[in-house]
Structure formats: C-alpha cells, structure tokens
C-alpha cells in the first residue's frame, strides 16, 4: 500500500502520491457544489484497483459553517442559561460601525432547551439532575426533528456526570450528541458552548461526506487532516469535526515547516496563495498554535495552527467603486466560472492580470494540460481600461498592486504587529499562485530571501503526508502559583497522559513512539487572558519572559495563576524521505531553456527566459528576469533577483541581487 495526500481548495483539488517508489502530482478543478466529486475523480484516476492510504484535508466542515449549511442542531444546557449563545460577549468586532449586528446564532432560541441541574464553579452539586426535566427536553428534541445535539452544562469539566446522563437519554432518539466536557474541558461557558455547538453543527455533514468517499473507494486507510497540524482517523473526524476546520491551510503550514527544517531554515513566513485566498503564518522554530480562533464570527477554542487568511487569490475578482478605486477580493471566480482565461468567466481576476502582463505562459499551464485563452482577455481589459481612463497595461498592474497590498498587510499582521522583524525570516512561498507574487511581496516587506519548494502548488497535500497523529487535551485547574506546585501539576497531567496514550494506542502507536508535550495557560492574577508556556521546572520564569516579549513588561512580584493545563500527544508517523541532490554546477542544462517571451515589469516589456524547473538541479543559478515553469505552479524571478537551486531542489531567490551567490 502506498499513499496519497489530497487537499481540496476553492479552485483546484490537489493530489500528491507515491507509487512504485516515485512521487507524482495531479490537479483537478474543484467541484464546489459537491467537493467529493473532484476528490473521487482524482483518487479513481490515480489508484485504479491499487490499495492506497489516503490523507485528506477537507473544507467540508469550514464550508458548512461559513455557508450556514450544517445540521439542524439543538442546544441543551442548564435551565436559565438557554440564551447563552444569543448573549455571547459584549465585544464589538466593528467598534465604529453604527449598523453592526452580531452574527445570527447557529441555533435559534426555539431549539435551546434547559434541564434543571447545576454544578458550581468549585465542582460541588447545587441542584441534582432532574430526570423529569431531562425527559421533557428529550421529547421536545424528538418533536423538533433535530439532526444533532450539543450538550453544555455549567462547569461540566469539573463533573461530567450530568452531560453523560443527558447523552444516554438523547441517544435513545438515535441522534448524534456532542458533549462539551469532551470537546473542550475548559472554563468560559460561552466559548465552550460555541465550540461544542459548532462541532454538533458540522459533524453530520462531515460524516455523510466521509462515508460517501469511503464507500466509493472501499478503503479503510483513510485519515483526515486537523487544524492543529496533525491527522486523525476518519472515524474520529466524524464525531470531532470541529478539529478539521481549516485543515487545508494547516497542511500547508506543516509542509512549509518540515521542508524548511530539511533545508536548515527554521525562521519562515509561510505564504500560501491559492485560487480563492492567501494563508500566512510565522514559523519561528516551531508551528505556532492558538486556541483563540474565530470562524464566521464564532469562537472556536480548540488548538489550531495560528494562520491568518485573507480573501486574495488567483481567482479573486476586481471590483471598481464609483470613485474609481480598485478592490481585489474577497469574492472569487472559483473553479466555475473561473478566471476569464479559463474560458467561461467574464470578470477580471488576478490570474487574468498575470497572464495579460506575460507572467503566465498559456501553453504551459498545468503542464500544458489546461491551456489558457489569452486572446479572450483583450476585450475585457480594453473595455474596463476605457471605463477607468487607464491603459490596459496600467489596469493589469493595478490589479496586481492591489492584490499585493492585501497580502502584504496579512504578512504584517503576523510579523510586524507581533514584534517580529520580517528581515530575519525567509518567505516560504507555495500554492498555485504564490510564486507569481512572492518576490514582489518580499521586497515590499524587506525580506531578503524567498524559498519555493518543488511542486509548490501541491505542498499542502504533501504537508498532510508529513503530519503526525496528534491528540490535544485541556483541563481548567485554576491554581495560584505557590512553592512545590510543580509536582501537583504533574499529578493533574496524569489522567490526560493516560487518555492520550490509550487513544493513540487504539490508532496503532505503542507508548515508545508517542511524544507527550505539556503546556500551561498562565496569567497574572486579575488578568482576563492567558499565555501558553511549556510545562517544565522553569515554567514560571518562562511565563515572565513571554509576557515581557508579548506586552513589553513583566510583573515578577505579582501573583501568577495557572488557568488551564494542556497536553499534546503526538504519535510519530513515518514521513516521506527526500535525499539531498548532488551538485550539478551553476549553469542549467541548455534543454531547460524553452524560449523567451515579453513580460511587463514596472510598465516596461522585457525579454524573459522561460525555464523548465524539472530540468534544473542543485547549484543551478537563474538570474532575473525569468519565468520558471512546472506542472503545479509558475515562479516569476523579476529583474534584479537571482534564483539558485539548493540540495533538496528548493528554489532559493535572493530578492535584490544579480550577482551574489545564494547562501
């Protein structure tokens, strides 16, 4: 059995596979109305009758939430707290918008039910679980014909008995149930309720999707990428679907981290530009994790890789307001109708602008399997240019400049705004459109070097094959720091460690192949937000240092609280291995040069080399201007930049040098 990684995007579905010891890549246009169609079509094309292990990054849970197409879901909570999701927090995401309205709750008030029971914040029993009250709620759930139920009782992480009993009663209706103490064993009732509700809302949709693929493929070797950078079994993903939201971008971050690590580059800004969006993350020696994410306006408090997303991709549409200002995205042409040059679209996109400027080569798109219609562009650019008073070339450059500005801002959010100097990092570019913009963005951000891996358009799929099997656990403990606390905390971790070893054991990992990572959520007493620090004998000093780095000060004499404990159990899986390549010299093989074409840089057409990446080798140097062509992506090396192939086949571009060697 060999392996396939599958990443479903808004425009393309990407496949990377290993067969007979050789790696290959494959791309298909996505089918947004039913993502399974493109996945199954690609898998059947690649596998035939061969048995493969599949690791899949799915957008199904994300789309169900964003498009409000999840299951009919009910909430069961304590009597008197039925309005918790409607009340939420007092935060206003648009402080100066007088017309701002909170997102409509996923669950209407008519499907929020209360049971007479109560656990206090200290874990004591205030009111017993009322069986009659619970039976009435079960009857109401049956009458409402709900498809899924979220159960979230106050402080259930201290005593889950009431939630377990409620689940026993509800399951008599044969309805899936999500329990908050299992989904998120932490305090803050609104965030815990929201996360549990999202799981209940998307899990039935995910279950149907996965079962449909499994039935069509007749394979049990099917794993799903999680948002935390690890994979889980298909069975677990059907009941814990909240962990699969943003799984595609997580695969890209893992791929960037592992590829950079092999090349001994651990300070990376990952830049993943696809067809509909751009995802960026700052990798400073490790994958950045957060438990403070918002999706569609709702808090999702499970651990995720900290990725910032903006609506700027190859298919992002140009719009012009009455004052003549350009806007690119977040609306996208998607896979259908797609950009104008795909043959069906009728609105200018970023891809169209790149083709108009000569930066895409029509006959080499997707290795020549999907030629672009460059002639079709002219009338659209001429008509729009006439409306704006610009030349068609200035219009195309304006589209690129506005898209670059959107993506530059995203990179600033995860670097400059968090106290990092971008000049200390390498811009790791991937995605189908990333190589077209990477050097321009690096120059805007004063990033000296761009790194582009082999097959950049399918790196997210490769990242899924590089991911370990990861289980995350958390528990609110709320303990004030005191001498001798380390050993008490060690005891608090014990049941989480046991659970992690048991669950990974069920997935085939013996204890020797499991890595246990322990963390603490800490804060100064009186604060409302926590910082996550590794749990080791120096955890208190680590907290003060991290607080000073994050906020500019540390109060070392102030009382410190440990709010939550977190545990990450990581089953180390076998990863793709890539051997270093032998040095071939600075001059590429003459066969790599397949012609020249006029490409517009800074309004000036310039003769530009067209180079096949498959024929480049370690040590080969490519001065700009040049366009490097490969199946999954196109890379633009502008004038004044220099590309060199490293010993793993990565293309390293020095952004502001024609002659200096690339380190």
The fraction of the chain above a pLDDT of 70, given in percent, is: 98
Residue 415 lies in a domain: no
Residue 79 lies in a domain: yes
pLDDT, tens only, 473-485: 999 999 999 888 9
Euclidean distance between CA atoms 363 and 353, whole angstroms: 17
The dihedrals phi and psi of 305, each to the nearest 5 degrees, come to: -65, 135
Which among 636, 276, 230, 595 has a CA at the least distance from the CA of 456? 636
Residue 462 lies in a domain: no
Non-local CB neighbours of 551 within 8 Å, separated by 6+ positions: none
- In this model, does residue 658 exceed pLDDT 50? no
- In this model, does residue 599 exceed pLDDT 70? yes
pLDDT confidence of residue 661? 35
Average pLDDT over every residue of 627-639: 95
This prediction's pTM: 0.90
Which among 251, 422, 447, 224 has a CA at the least distance from the CA of 259? 251
The radius of gyration of the chain's CA atoms, rounded to the nearest angstrom, is: 26
Euclidean distance between CA atoms 502 and 514, whole angstroms: 11
The dihedrals phi and psi of 296, each to the nearest 5 degrees, come to: 55, 30
Residue 429 lies in a domain: no
Residue 446 lies in a domain: no
Of 544, 571, 598, the residue that ends a domain is 571
Kindly give the pairing relationship between strand 222-225 and strand 316-320: unpaired
The total number of structural domains in the chain stands at 2
- The token pair at 245 is 């939201």
Which among 465, 490, 505 has a CA at the least distance from the CA of 565? 490
Residue 9 lies in a domain: no
DSSP class of 348: -
Instruction: Write the CATH number for 118.
Output: 3.40.50
Domain enclosing residue 157, as ranges? 70-197
Assign 3-class secondary structure to 561-626. EEEEEEEEEEECCCCCCCCCCCCCCCCCCHHHEEEEEEEEECCEEEEEEEEEHHHCCCCCEEECCE
The dihedrals phi and psi of 565, each to the nearest 5 degrees, come to: -105, 145
pLDDT, tens only, 167-206: 999 999 999 999 999 999 999 999 999 999 999 999 999 9
Bridge partners of 29? 12
Non-local CB neighbours of 356 within 8 Å, separated by 6+ positions: 374, 377, 381, 392, 393, 396
pLDDT, tens only, 100-152: 888 888 899 999 999 999 999 999 999 999 999 999 999 999 999 999 999 99
Of 543, 571, 599, the residue that ends a domain is 571
DSSP class of 638: -
Of 536, 571, 606, the residue that ends a domain is 571
- The token pair at 216 is 């069509």
Beta strands, E only, 274-315: 278-284, 289-290, 293-295, 298-300, 304-305, 308-310
Consecutive H or E run containing 149: strand 148-151
Mean pLDDT value across the chain: 91
Residue 251 lies in a domain: no
Euclidean distance between CA atoms 56 and 225, whole angstroms: 6
Instruction: Write the CATH number for 491.
Output: 3.30.1490
Residue 522 lies in a domain: yes
């Amino acid at each position: 059995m060999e392996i396939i990684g599958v990443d479903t995007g808004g425009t393309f579905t990407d496949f990377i596979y290993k067969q007979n010891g050789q790696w290959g890549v494959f791309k298909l246009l996505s089918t947004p109305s039913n993502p399974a169609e493109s996945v199954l079509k690609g898998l059947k094309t690649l596998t035939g009758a061969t048995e493969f292990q599949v690791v899949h990054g799915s957008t199904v849970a994300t789309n169900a939430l964003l498009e409000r197409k999840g299951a009919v879901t009910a909430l069961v909570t304590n009597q008197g707290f039925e309005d918790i999701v409607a009340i939420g927090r007092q935060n206003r995401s648009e402080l100066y918008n007088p017309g701002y309205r909170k997102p409509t709750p996923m669950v209407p008030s008519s499907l929020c039910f209360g049971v007479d029971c109560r656990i206090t914040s200290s874990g004591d029993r205030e009111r017993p679980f009322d069986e009659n009250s619970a039976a009435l709620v079960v009857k109401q759930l049956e009458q409402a014909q709900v498809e899924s139920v979220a159960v979230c009782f106050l402080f259930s992480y201290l005593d889950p008995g009431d939630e377990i009993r409620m689940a026993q009663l509800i399951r008599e209706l044969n309805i899936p149930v999500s329990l908050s103490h299992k989904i998120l064993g932490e305090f803050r009732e609104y965030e815990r309720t929201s996360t549990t509700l999202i799981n209940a809302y998307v899990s039935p949709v995910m279950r149907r999707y996965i079962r449909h693929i499994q039935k069509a493929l007749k394979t049990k070797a099917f794993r799903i990428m999680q948002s935390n950078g690890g994979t889980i079994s298909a069975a677990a993903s059907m009941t814990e679907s909240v962990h699969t939201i943003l799984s595609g971008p997580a695969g890209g971050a893992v791929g960037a981290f592992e590829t950079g690590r092999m090349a001994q580059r651990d300070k990376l800004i990952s830049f993943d530009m696809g067809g509909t969006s751009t995802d960026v993350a700052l990798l400073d020696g490790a994958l950045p994790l957060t438990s403070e994410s918002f999706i569609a306006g709702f808090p999702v408090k499970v651990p995720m890789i900290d990725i910032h997303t903006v609506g700027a991709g190859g298919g992002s549409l140009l719009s012009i307001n009455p004052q003549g200002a350009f806007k690119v995205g977040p609306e996208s042409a998607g896979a259908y109708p797609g950009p104008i040059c795909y043959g069906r679209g009728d609105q200018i996109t970023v891809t169209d602008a790149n083709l108009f400027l000569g930066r895409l080569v029509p006959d080499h798109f997707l290795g020549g399997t999907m030629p672009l219609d460059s002639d079709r562009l002219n009338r659209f650019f001429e008509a729009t240019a006439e409306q704006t008073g610009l030349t068609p070339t200035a219009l195309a450059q304006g589209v690129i400049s506005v898209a670059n500005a959107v993506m530059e801002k995203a990179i600033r959010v995860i670097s400059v705004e968090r106290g990092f100097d971008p000049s200390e990092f390498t811009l790791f570019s991937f995605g189908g459109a990333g190589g077209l913009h990477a050097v321009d963005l690096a120059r805007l951000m004063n990033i000296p070097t761009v790194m582009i891996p082999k097959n950049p358009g399918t790196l997210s799929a490769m990242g899924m094959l590089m991911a370990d099997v990861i289980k995350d656990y958390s528990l609110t403990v709320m303990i004030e720091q005191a001498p001798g606390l380390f050993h008490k905390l060690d005891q608090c971790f014990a049941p989480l460690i046991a659970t992690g070893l048991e669950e990974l054991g069920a997935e085939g990992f013996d204890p020797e192949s499991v890595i246990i990572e322990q963390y603490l959520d800490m804060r100064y007493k009186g604060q409302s937000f926590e910082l996550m620090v590794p749990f080791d004998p120096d955890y208190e000093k680590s907290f003060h240092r991290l607080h000073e780095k994050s906020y500019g000060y540390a109060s070392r004499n102030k009382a410190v609280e440990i709010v939550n404990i977190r545990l990450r159990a990581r089953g180390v899986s076998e990863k793709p291995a890539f051997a270093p390549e032998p040095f071939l010299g600075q001059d590429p093989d003459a066969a790599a040069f397949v012609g020249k074409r006029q490409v517009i840089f800074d309004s000036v057409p310039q003769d530009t080399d067209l180079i096949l990446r498959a024929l480049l080798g370690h040590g080969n140097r490519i001065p700009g201007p040049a366009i490097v062509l490969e199946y999954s992506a196109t890379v633009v090396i502008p004038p004044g930049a220099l590309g060199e192939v490293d010993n793993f086949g990565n293309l390293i571009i020095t952004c502001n040098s024609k002659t200096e060697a690339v380190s």
